[in-house]
Amino acid sequence: MISEQMGEFRGKIISRRRLPEDDLGPREEVILEENGQLLSLNVKNILTAVTATRPGGNLYLEGRLTMVTSDGDIAAGNALGTAKPGDNGGLGSLRCAVHFDTASRQLGWVKNMIAYWETEQDQDGKTRGKLWRWGLRPHGPQLPPEDWPVFAAVPGSTSIN
């Protein structure tokens, strides 16, 4: 379930490079850079991805999204999604899921979080992106395991704690 919006970003595609075709079809490497807010933090997002053109013209996308705060803290995530090409041959409309990991204390609350990220590219090549938290896990500092809530087991099932 998609819940609260966590961020909003603006940027542009800074690099596109044709790759050799494979079983998935024509491929391209895309690097997108966006700046904006992740809750109250100023961040820069850098997406490095490979797209493959699917039958029907949509793009399959796999890549790496890296978020860097103004303090230099980093969270990175594997991105998997789809894009609808724009009229200008760019990404047009991108939708993907991102699974984050980090060693940062400041961004520790995104560790193991799955987020939904979308970005639109206009005819001038500029992008506008948004990031939503996916699931029911509250944002904010991550609780240590000893503070996790205890759930009562359903009769006849095994306990999760």
Number of domains observed in the structure of the chain: 1
The per-residue pLDDT string of the chain (161 residues; one tens digit each, 9 = 90 and over) reads 567 788 999 999 999 899 998 887 889 999 999 999 998 899 999 999 999 988 888 889 999 999 999 999 999 999 999 988 877 666 688 899 999 999 998 888 888 888 999 999 887 889 999 998 876 555 554 444 444 444 333 444 343 43
Kindly state whether residue 161 falls inside one of the protein's structural domains: no
Kindly state whether residue 126 falls inside one of the protein's structural domains: yes
pLDDT in the model for residue 109: 86
Q: Which domain range does residue 55 map to?
A: 2-147
Kindly state whether residue 98 falls inside one of the protein's structural domains: yes
Q: What is the CATH number of the domain that holds 68?
A: 2.40.160.20
| Nearest Cα to Cα of residue 76 among 96, 99, 60 | 99
Q: Tell me the Cα Rg of the chain.
A: 18
pLDDT in the model for residue 90: 65
Q: Which helix (H) or strand (E) holds 21?
A: strand 2-22
Q: Residues 85-116, buried b or exposed e (16+ Cβ, 10 A)?
A: bbeeebbbbbebebbbebebeebebbeebebb
For 56-64, the CB contacts below 8 A with 24+ separation are: 57/84, 57/85, 58/82, 58/83, 58/84, 58/85, 59/83, 59/84, 59/85, 59/91, 60/24, 61/30, 61/94, 61/96, 63/30
Q: How crowded is residue 30: how many other Cβ atoms within 10 Å of its Cβ?
A: 21
pLDDT in the model for residue 97: 93
pLDDT in the model for residue 81: 93
pLDDT in the model for residue 2: 60
Kindly state whether residue 137 falls inside one of the protein's structural domains: yes
